[in-house]
Amino acid sequence: MEANSINTFSGIIHEHTAYKSQIFKMARNDLVKTYSGSALGWAWAVIRPVVTILIYWFAMSVGFKKNGLVYGHPYFLWLITGLVPWFYMSDMLTQGTDCMRKYRYLITKMRYPVSTIPTFVSISKMMVSMVLLFVVAVIYWIMGFAPTIYYLQIFIYILFSFMFFTSWALFAGPISAISQDFSNLIRSFVFAVLWCSGIFWDATEVGGTLGLILKANPVTYIVTGFRASFMGQYWFWERPRALGVFMAELLLMFLLGLWSYRKLRKEIPDVL
């Protein structure tokens, strides 16, 4: 990394260290703000995903006749194991992109470290995702699939997902703060990412060049990893090529985040 990037990285680490308690407080406040003002409150954190899952399951099972077993598990279990991680990722693609616009008052009216905004927004969304993943584990158990030792690597994929999409928010947040068009562009592509990432169908079965492209999608890698963990298929290190590609993408996203934040952080207060 060049000197400016190293200085930016050091500054981000310093801000996160100095404001670590405030980061978790802001993450909690983000959660409260998301579900406040409704009678059911926090229950919506579960109700909305459940309704979405049932709609997709009905459409795929009745409309597209997707039934039977997938890797020895009912299609419903295979589906929810991909959809639940996607809820976090889709939130970060949209709300993560808009995080600095949403919290503009921290930037324009307070001396708050801007680099921590993507982090506490990501923590907020991940807390909900972890609750939903626990619910998925319970559903697996109820349907006769007890936890296995492979469940341990669920936390690895949670970490992978958190690191990648927090870096994404650090990259996209400053750009969106400068240009609302960028945010609109990302939102227009989220639905396409959903359908092209193997969440409703098994991307690992696609061969050739198209298969390689689909498998290089970081969303596909993370979703496939969660499914391998819940279904006890393999350990993450047993597929070193896929792991290496994802790590390269993670590093690239982190470097893009540093670049975006370093280039635009001084302009953000003036624009907002």
Which tokens go with 170? 């650090």
In this predicted structure, the answer to whether residue 144 has a pLDDT above a threshold of 70 is yes
Query: What local confidence, expressed as pLDDT, does residue 87 receive?
Result: 94
3-state secondary structure of 2: coil
| Tens-digit pLDDT profile for residues 224-243 | 999 999 998 899 999 999 99
- Give the pLDDT score at 211: 79
19 close to 116: Cβ distance less than 8 angstroms: yes
pLDDT tens profile 243-260: 999 999 999 999 999 999
pTM of the model: 0.92
pLDDT digits (tens, 9 = 90+) for 94-109: 999 999 999 988 888 8
Q: Which structural domain range is residue 31 located in?
A: 3-271
Cβ-contact 119, 191 below 8 angstroms: no
Structural domain total, the chain: 1
Alpha helices in the chain (DSSP H): 3-18, 20-35, 44-58, 75-91, 99-102, 104-108, 117-142, 154-178, 180-196, 208-215, 218-231, 240-264, 268-271
Tokens of 100: 């600095």
Residue with tokens 């049932």: 54
- Separation of alpha carbons 44 and 61, rounded Å: 25
Residue where the block lists tokens 């936390």: 155
